[in-house]
Structure 1
Amino acid sequence: MAISREEKNDGKSVVIHVNGQFDFSVVQEFRDAYTDCQGKEIVVDFRGTEYIDSAGLGMLLNMQSFLNKKEGDIRLINTMPQIKRVLVIARFEKKFIIE
């Protein structure tokens, strides 16, 4: 599976792990990972991500909107240099905390 989910802190936070390619092929899988996460802290872990495209960027924005999160409420962690470069070019550091 390209997307996996891990509950932390007695269900108060969720870590979504993205493995392989973060593109249109995982839209539904990614959506399923966060649909019941209202009111929880969200972290997206890109440790195993090799590639992200505009569909992946759109999925992050859709998640932020669906969960009604403010700018900076969602953390994107373990971004490889090639993933971080795409996020910075798209100016996602203004919408997310990128670590």
Structure 2
Amino acid sequence: MQYNITTEGTATVLHLSEQLVDADRAAFDTVLSRVLSSRPPRVIVDFSGLHYMDSAGLGLLLTLRERARAAGAEVVLRNPTGAVRDMLQLARFDTLFSVVNA
């Protein structure tokens, strides 16, 4: 997993690239702490650079959702494409998150 954190207005944007898999669990936990430390009202996860995600990656997104909710933040998934989009659709993540294409 490669990542970059930026801001858009009051939202914190987590740009993910390459892949999101079980081996990224520890790094993802550290990233979540950084993302949520400023208590943003919205966290946008930008998938435009992410090419692969497995079921463990889905679990990591659920962890993000739980921690963000506890911090009072909404999570939006943005620009999933290809296999990542298919995985999110298969898992019905559109019922748990706002999914947008911008």
For this structure pair, what is the TM-score category when the shorter chain's length is used for normalisation?
0.7 to 0.9
The separation in 1 between residues aligned to 2:26 and 2:60, in whole angstroms, is: 10
Whether 2:6 is the aligned partner of 1:6: answer yes
The separation in 2 between residues aligned to 1:16 and 1:78, in whole angstroms, is: 12
The partner residue of 2:16 within 18, 40, 59 is: 18
Check 1:94–1:14 CA distance in 2 against 1; reply closer, same or farther (3 A cut): same
Secondary structure at the residue paired with 1:47? strand
Unmatched tracts of structure 1, length 5 or more: none
Unmatched tracts of structure 2, length 5 or more: none
The separation in 2 between residues aligned to 1:31 and 1:38, in whole angstroms, is: 16
Secondary structure at the residue paired with 1:67? helix
- Count of residues in Structure 1 that have an aligned counterpart in Structure 2: 94
Check 1:26–1:8 CA distance in 2 against 1; reply closer, same or farther (3 A cut): same
The separation in 2 between residues aligned to 1:61 and 1:24, in whole angstroms, is: 13
Check 1:89–1:13 CA distance in 2 against 1; reply closer, same or farther (3 A cut): same
Q: 1:29: which partner in 2?
A: 27
Query: In the TM superposition, what is the alpha-carbon distance from 1:80 to its structure 2 partner?
Result: 0.7
Runs of 4+ with >6 A deviation? none
- TM superposition score normalised by structure 1: 0.83
Query: In the TM superposition, what is the alpha-carbon distance from 1:26 to its structure 2 partner?
Result: 2.1
The separation in 2 between residues aligned to 1:4 and 1:29, in whole angstroms, is: 13
Query: In the TM superposition, what is the alpha-carbon distance from 1:37 to its structure 2 partner?
Result: 4.6
- TM superposition score normalised by structure 2: 0.81
Whether 2:48 is the aligned partner of 1:47: answer yes
Write the letter of the residue equivalent to 2:59.
G
Write the letter of the residue equivalent to 1:18.
L
